[in-house]
Amino acid sequence: DAKTTQPTSMDCAEGRAANLPCNHSTISGNEYVYWYRQIHSQGPQYIIHGLKNNETNEMASLIITEDRKSSTLILPHATLRDTAVYYCIAVKTSYDKVIFGPGTSLSVIP
Amino acid sequence: EAQVTQNPRYLITVTGKKLTVTCSQNMNHEYMSWYRQDPGLGLRQIYYSMNVEVTDKGDVPEGYKVSRKEKRNFPLILESPSPNQTSLYFCASSSGQGYNQPQHFGDGTRLSIL
C-alpha cells in the first residue's frame, strides 16, 4: 500500500473551511484514497473515499489531483465537534487492513 | 441503526485470567477485523475474517484467538492475558459488496491487564 504523509497538526477557525492535505506520491492506479477521523479515543469514523474523481458527501469533500499524488479533505464549515485526528490512507480493496499513520490533529478554534 | 458493538467498553483484570471481548455487527458484513491501538504505534491488526469460519492472522496475533461461527459475531479471546496486552482495542467490519467499501469501527474496548 502507498505511504501517505500529512501535516502533524492544523488549526481552523470555527465556521471556516478546514483544508487538510495529504501526499501519496507512490499511490498505485488501483488504490483508493480514504479519509477517517478519530475523536479523542473513540472508534475511527469513515469520512469519504475516492479513486480519481473529486467526491462530496454530507460530511466533506475530497479533491484528488489529476496525477493522484496528493489530495485534500475539505470540511466546508468546521465546528468544534470536528476537532479530531484525521487519517489519510491508501487501500486497494474492502478487505485491506487499515493502517493509520500519525494523521493530522485538527483543532477547531472558537 | 447500522453499528459495530463491542463489549465490554472497559475492563481491568489480572494476568492469566481468561477474557473475551465480544464484537457484533448488524450490517450483514462479510469482513471483520480486530485492531489494537497503542500510543506511538498507531493501529495494528490482530486478526481478520473474510467470512464465517474463515479467519487469518494480522500483524500482531500472538496471545490472541478469534472465532467466526456466525456472520455477525467475531469475538476476541485472550486465553492468558499479560500486561503487554493492555491496550485500546477496536473491532471493524466491511462489506465485500462492490470493489471498495469503508470499514466501520466499534467504539473501542479499553483493557488494562495488571
Helices and strands (H, E) in chain B, number of each type? 0, 11
**Least Cα separation, residue A75 to chain B (angstroms):** 19
Q: Which of B42, B99, B101 sits opposite A100 (nearest CB)?
A: B42
Out of A8-17, A86-95, B21-30, least confident range: A86-95
A80: helix, strand or coil? helix
Look at B90 and A42 and tell me if their CB atoms are within 8 Å: no
The pLDDT of A72-88, averaged and rounded, is 97
CA A95, A1, B23, B57 dihedral sign is positive
Which of A94, A98, A99 minimises the CB distance to B95?
Answer: A94
Residue A75: pLDDT over 90: yes
Best interface-test mutation with B: which of A28, A49, A52, A98 has the largest number of B CBs within 10 A?
Answer: A98
Q: Pick from B31, B95, B107: which is nearest to A43 by CB?
A: B107
Grid cell of B73 as nine digits: 459475531
pLDDT for A97: 78
B4-33 tens-digit pLDDT: 999 999 999 999 999 999 999 999 999 999
Q: Cα(B33)–Cα(A97) distance, rounded to whole angstroms?
A: 8
Give the mean pLDDT of B25-44: 92
- The answer, yes or no, to whether residue A110 has pLDDT greater than 90, is yes
